Amino acid sequence: MAMNNDAAASVMADPSLEMTGKDVDALLAAAPKITPGTRVNVTFLGNENLDMRVAAAKAVHDAGLIPVSHVAARRMSSEEEFVEFLVALRGQVGTTHLFTVGGDPSEPMGPYASALDLIRSGLPAEHGFTDISIAGYPEGHPDIADTELWDVLEAKVAALQQQGLSGTILTQFGFDVDPIHDWIREVRARGINLPIRIGVPGPAGIKRLMTYAKRFGVSTSAGIARKYGFSMTNLLGTAGPERLIRDLQKGLNPESGDVKLHFYTFGGMETTADWIAEYDARQLGS
């Protein structure tokens, strides 16, 4: 696809970030460098509890940012636990944003086997959540067939529309723009017009990036690694996503719709915030 200047300019507008429940101190250190109103996703990991997740979301809110709390379907032991989480987020934080995901456990710990189950329960809407993020997988999923991924994505979009909810598609991070561009085209060809946030790794040590890529089943062939400026043999270096972002921009056009970035802060929130600010400054100076 030919490059479109408007699309290129917009992809780095309003990037979102990600943190864990244990990253409150890191958030507070980074917050002065983050644009007010930025969306910050708060994870739902097995080594976190409700109080930790809610406290992290409140810290995001109190810093003038927008918390987007994750909820992992297969980690929910009961409907009561799900409702308790939703009530705590609304009562203590006031957020109306949620990111529903299946979660790591292979077997459900309770009544919800998928993010679609969480949405179809109607509980997020009932408790005042109005914007629900859903997952996208440009490089596929190691345990789910592509046809099923598309069917489920369309079903989630339909469920949001039926309940009058807005939404965003948030993707797993990757290193190769070719499957990302193909995936965006397919999303739009299926009539799905939700905003898309493409996951990119924030600046981090190469060894750490490779570790996360292996953990999440992300493609990291030597050819892709060379393409984006980091060496599989020099694991002591640091890599940032500038070339990846530039190549992503080149492939976007008006038909791509609303496409922005979501930074996975593997190298730390403050490091990522600094990198974004420096990137923006370079673009203004170019």
Residue keyed to tokens 């079903």: 155
- pLDDT-derived band at 214 (thresholds 50, 70, 90) equals low
In this prediction, residue 280 carries a pLDDT of: 82
pLDDT digits (tens, 9 = 90+) for 247-273: 899 999 999 999 999 999 987 899 999
Q: What is the mean pLDDT of the chain?
A: 87
Which percentage of the chain shows pLDDT scores above 70?
A: 83
36 by DSSP, 3-state: which? coil
| Amino acid letter, residue 274 | D
Burial tier of 109 (Cβ tally within 10 Å: 0-12, 13-18, 19+): middle
Predicted pLDDT of residue 231:
43
- Chain segment 166-176, per-residue pLDDT in tens: 999 999 887 78
From the list 30, 41, 35, 22, the residue with the least C-alpha distance to 280 is 35
**β-strand partners of 252:** none
Residue 239 confidence (pLDDT): 53
Residue 51 CA neighbour count, 13 Å, CB half = 0
Instruction: Return d(Cα 145, Cα 149) in angstroms, integer.
Output: 6
- Tell me, what's the pLDDT at 66? 98
- The predicted structure's pLDDT at residue 175: 76
pTM given for the model? 0.87
